[in-house]
C-alpha cells in the first residue's frame, strides 16, 4: 500500500469517527426541527393566507424543507457526494414548480359546460300533482 493511500484511509476513518460522535446530537436536532416544522404545518393550515394558491405554496414549501432534512440527514446524503444532494434538492424544486403550475392551471379555467347545453336548466319546482296510486287501489 502506498503512503498516499494510507494517509487517505486514515483521514477518511478519522472523519467517519468524528461524524459518528456527532450523530446522536445531530439526529436529535433534526428531529426537533422536523417536529417544529410539523407544528408550523398544522398551524399554517388554520390560517387563510389570502388565496388557495398561497396556501398551497406555503404547505409545499414546508413539506419540501421537511423532506430535504430527512433526505440529507437520515438518508445520509449530506455526507455523500455533493451532486446527489443537489439532484435531490433540484428534484424537489422542480416537483414544486410542476405542482404549482398544475394548480394554477386548474384554478384559472372556466367551469366546464356541456357543448350541447344552450340554456341553463331551470330549477324544477315541486309540483302539486297528487302522488300516483299503486295499481289495484282506487279512491
- What is the domain partition of the chain in residue ranges? 23-108
Q: What is the pLDDT of residue 123?
A: 64
Model-level pTM greater than 0.75?
no
Q: Where are the alpha helices (DSSP H) in the chain?
A: 3-45, 52-69, 82-108
Q: Is 100 in contact with 108 (CB distance < 8 Å)? A: no
Does 15 have pLDDT greater than 60? no
Does 71 have pLDDT greater than 80? yes
Q: Quick one: which of 83, 81, 79, 44 has its CA closest to 65?
A: 44
How confident is residue 2, by pLDDT bands cut at 50, 70 and 90?
Answer: low
The share of the chain scoring above pLDDT 70, in percent, equals 69
Compute how many other C-beta atoms are within 10 angstroms of the C-beta atom of residue 108.
Answer: 8
Amino acid at each position: 500500500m502506498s503512503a498516499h493511500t494510507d494517509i487517505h484511509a486514515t483521514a477518511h476513518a478519522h472523519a467517519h469517527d468524528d461524524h459518528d460522535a456527532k450523530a446522536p446530537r445531530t439526529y436529535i436536532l433534526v428531529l426537533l426541527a422536523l417536529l417544529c416544522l410539523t407544528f408550523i404545518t398544522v398551524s399554517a393550515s388554520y390560517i387563510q393566507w389570502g388565496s388557495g394558491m398561497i396556501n398551497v405554496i406555503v404547505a409545499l414549501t414546508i413539506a419540501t424543507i421537511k423532506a430535504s432534512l430527512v433526505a440529507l440527514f437520515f438518508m445520509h446524503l449530506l455526507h455523500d457526494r455533493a451532486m446527489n444532494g443537489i439532484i435531490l434538492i433540484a428534484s424537489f424544486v422542480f416537483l414544486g414548480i410542476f405542482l404549482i403550475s398544475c394548480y394554477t392551471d386548474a384554478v384559472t379555467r372556466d367551469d366546464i359546460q356541456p357543448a350541447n347545453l344552450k340554456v341553463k336548466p331551470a330549477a324544477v319546482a315541486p309540483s302539486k300533482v297528487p302522488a300516483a296510486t299503486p295499481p289495484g287501489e282506487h279512491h
